[in-house]
Structure 1
Amino acid sequence: MLARRSPTDWGADLAAIVDDLCKRADRVAVTGIPPFTAFPSLPGALGRYLARRAGALDEISRRICAERL
């Protein structure tokens, strides 16, 4: 489902996914969210909003991954 996930929900969902994958794979790669400000087709205000949200979610993703090293 595509929905605006809260940062808390994002972290919980990502942690569950990474934990499950770590049980089945030797390595797991998690990529960041694209830099929305680099998409010229997005209006400026929307790109900045999405970039701020992406930054917050990326920070949570980095924390989740660092906790599992």
Structure 2
Amino acid sequence: MIANAMGLEQDAAGAEGFSDEIPVWAVGSVGAVVKAGYMSGYPDGTFGAAKSITRAEAVSSLNRVLNRMMKQ
């Protein structure tokens, strides 16, 4: 959702560093939000695409988006 809302270009290469499986349909968006700095994954090298996002993770990601928007 963040990739689409921010108009980010799909970037599959940005998702290559994660050790867990990211669905094919999401790889480009995951790479885009990671490259843009909105999301980063977990310290163990996973992105957690199969897990639900926590409220804290959602707030942190959206806060990064809002901060970027305010600077524009």
TM range (shorter): 0.3 to 0.5
Q: TM-score under structure 1 normalisation? A: 0.33
Bigger relative CO (Cα 8 Å, ≥ 6 apart): 1
TM-score (normalised: structure 2): 0.32
| CA radius of gyration, larger in | 1
